[in-house]
Structure 1
Amino acid sequence: MHPRTPLLALPAALALALTGCVATPQTGITDSSAPSQVLSAQASAPTTSAPLETTQASNKAPVYWIGRSNDSTFLYREFRDVPDQDNPVTRALRVMMSQKPLDPDFFTPWQNPKKLASSISGKNVITVDMSADAFNSNVDPAMAERAVQQLVYTATAAAASAGLIDAGQQIQVVVLVDGHTDYVAFNHVRLGSPTARGAGMVAPVWIIDPQEGASVDDGAVKISGRSTVPGGNLRWEILRIDGTVETKYLDGTVTASAEAGQSGAFSLSVNLGPGNYEVRISQLEAGNPAEDLNVDTRGFSVK
């Protein structure tokens, strides 16, 4: 069991702020708890949210990033080293706002705020308070909604993996800016309402292991990930990378699990010698086997 880290206590005034402001409707502004841009992948992928992370003993924090797949934009997760200061939620959010993803296909519109704190109530509500400089990016309404969900996914993932919340209940996040509700994030999304993970925000396919840039031992290399289609078929391909030359090395298909608790999970093992590789995994759609849907890729090396 991961040791519970003391959380920073937010001032009592913040609790009053949650109920002390009344939002004034404005044209073109959505509420964080009811985004207008609900993502859906192509027909083969239902709109689901990723299962809440489980408690782990690792010192790495789950951090979500934004990435593109086909013509849509989704959330992808990486496990990252985090500094020792602050609590698990604040640490993960600080990485999300101040560092770059390992995978060059991912990005984040957040900026590193001068002030960032978080706390968790007994009702499984995570409260995040930050300074307004976190929003110093010019994004469109759809990307603003994805960015807010990126924060919600990262905060809930960090709390769950640290064992700080009851994973059997719905987890919500309240975002305050300088101690107040009703701030309009990126000039498009009003914050302050309890917000849960949105359906359809996570990538239809994402490779969990190996992570981008990882180095693994030669021999049997395990590749694992998740699909939003339990029981669905996926195509996998291993490319060997020699400088700028990519050569198809191995390929095949794998079926995502349909079992409860492992819904959508997939894994495969391939024998690889030393060198640089890229793995590509995509969904297969019945009746359209030639098209690779919702491709995810990872580059890694074998030593």
Structure 2
Amino acid sequence: MLLLVLPAALVLSGCVATPQPGITNSNAPSQRLSSPASPGAPTTSAPLETTQASNKAPVYWIGRSNNNMFLYREFRDVPDQDNPVTRALRVMMSEKPLDPDFFTPWQNPKKLATSISGKNVITVDLSDDAFNSNVDAAMAERAIQQLVYTATAAGASAGLIDSGQQIQVVVLVDGHTDYVAFNHVRLGSPTSRSSGMVAPVWIIDPQEGTSMEEGAVKVSGRSTVPGGKLRWEILRVDGSVKTTYLNGNTPASADAGQSGLFSLSVKLGPGNYEVKVSQLQDGNPSQDLNVDTRGFTVK
């Protein structure tokens, strides 16, 4: 049973693309996505988002960590029109990330519609102008996973899908399967979140540009190494000058229900700050591995 109905009937057996070398299917990305290049890189997908009452939409972006690229999530304000999945995807394709370290290769499509079946399959139908970016094969695969993560996150956080089941996404272009996205990835097959795509270290709160009251400021996030050690640092920002204000170490949770989560609380007065969190590598504690940063203001 469709929960959200597309405005037009979908032609599921349209255009059959001519085979081309170097093209992967969306449900079977190349080996480079499942063979992380750096220690501590993720080997599983991020846990599916839980239902929330907030009107903010979870949106994934692409960002660089060490010599690899991963997905990072922001919660964004969205308009009331359209359904939650369409709203989140529209932000992903038409707006800029809050964090200047992130980016998206997607373009704002003229047509974008989504539906959800009773079997936990999200169908996304969009026009081909969404792919008007010149990217290589690795970036194309990450862009498709960016869409899959965002669509499934939006559906789960809005309570539209059963988070206890596997969630898949089918991408159609003008109602047809077999479109080759960015000239590298063939679409149309049911596609799940791919392992190895989320960032090794990921600051969840505060988000970039957040303003908060002085006093106890909580920093929380997730690491892909449950029980692993993390280094954190709070820097004061004065124009282009950054100076260390506080620092320390904290473990990521090893508990099954809180796997990889970390949090810390620091007391801060008014000013501009940046928080930096990184993994500590065994045998080389002086090296910051898989760094993530967020800038914020205390009033």
Q: TM-score, normalised by structure 2?
A: 0.96
Q: Distance in 1 between matches of 2:84 and 2:162?
A: 15
Aligned equivalent of 1:160: 156
Structure 2 unmatched runs, 5+? none
Q: Distance in 1 between matches of 2:105 and 2:42?
A: 26
Aligned equivalent of 1:66: 62
Structure 1 unmatched runs, 5+? 1-5
Report the residue type matching 2:6 in the other structure: A
SS at match of 2:152: helix
Q: Distance in 2 between matches of 1:294 and 1:9?
A: 41
User: Within the alignment, does 1:11 sit opposite 2:5 as a pair?
Assistant: no
Residues 40, 225 of structure 2: 8 Å contact kept: yes
Q: How has the CA–CA distance of structure 1 residues 99 and 266 changed in structure 2, closer, same or farther, with 3 Å as cutoff?
A: same
Residues 202, 223 of structure 2: 8 Å contact kept: yes
Deviations for 1:185-211, whole angstroms, at most 9, x for unmatched residues? Answer: 001000000000000001000100000
- Choose the corresponding residue for 2:209, options 209, 213, 220: 213
Q: How has the CA–CA distance of structure 1 residues 147 and 85 changed in structure 2, closer, same or farther, with 3 Å as cutoff?
A: same
Structure 1 residue 7, shift from structure 2 partner: 2.2
Report the residue type matching 1:194 in the other structure: P
Aligned equivalent of 2:263: 267
Aligned equivalent of 1:26: 20
Aligned equivalent of 1:45: 41
Q: Distance in 1 between matches of 2:20 and 2:37?
A: 30
Q: Which residues in structure 2 correspond to 1:163-182 (within 5 Å)?
A: 163-182=159-178
Structure 1 residue 127, shift from structure 2 partner: 0.1
Question: Comparing 161-170 with 40-49, which one deviates more in the overlay?
Answer: 40-49
Residues 42, 199 of structure 2: 8 Å contact kept: no
Residues 17, 180 of structure 2: 8 Å contact kept: no
SS at match of 1:261: helix
SS at match of 1:50: coil
Residues 8, 87 of structure 1: 8 Å contact kept: no
- Choose the corresponding residue for 1:280, options 228, 253, 276: 276
Q: How has the CA–CA distance of structure 1 residues 145 and 122 changed in structure 2, closer, same or farther, with 3 Å as cutoff?
A: same
RMSD of aligned residue pairs (Cα, Å):
1.3
Residues 142, 197 of structure 2: 8 Å contact kept: yes
Structure 1 residue 45, shift from structure 2 partner: 3.2
**How many corresponding residue pairs?**
295
Q: How has the CA–CA distance of structure 1 residues 20 and 244 changed in structure 2, closer, same or farther, with 3 Å as cutoff?
A: closer
Deviations for 1:65-115, whole angstroms, at most 9, x for unmatched residues? Answer: 000011110000000000111000000000000000000000000000000
Structure 1 residue 290, shift from structure 2 partner: 0.9
Q: Distance in 2 between matches of 1:223 and 1:207?
A: 7
Structure 1 residue 22, shift from structure 2 partner: 5.5
Aligned equivalent of 1:131: 127
Residues 233, 244 of structure 2: 8 Å contact kept: yes
- Choose the corresponding residue for 1:146, options 138, 142, 145: 142
Q: Distance in 2 between matches of 1:208 and 1:188?
A: 31
Structure 1 residue 258, shift from structure 2 partner: 1.2
Report the residue type matching 1:156 in the other structure: T
Aligned equivalent of 1:189: 185
Q: Distance in 1 between matches of 2:184 and 2:265?
A: 44
Q: TM-score, normalised by structure 1?
A: 0.95
Question: Comparing 36-45 with 180-189, which one deviates more in the overlay?
Answer: 36-45
Residues 41, 200 of structure 1: 8 Å contact kept: no
Q: Percent identity?
A: 81
Runs ≥4 in structure 1, deviation > 6 angstroms? none
Structure 1 residue 133, shift from structure 2 partner: 0.4
Question: Comparing 178-187 with 31-40, which one deviates more in the overlay?
Answer: 31-40
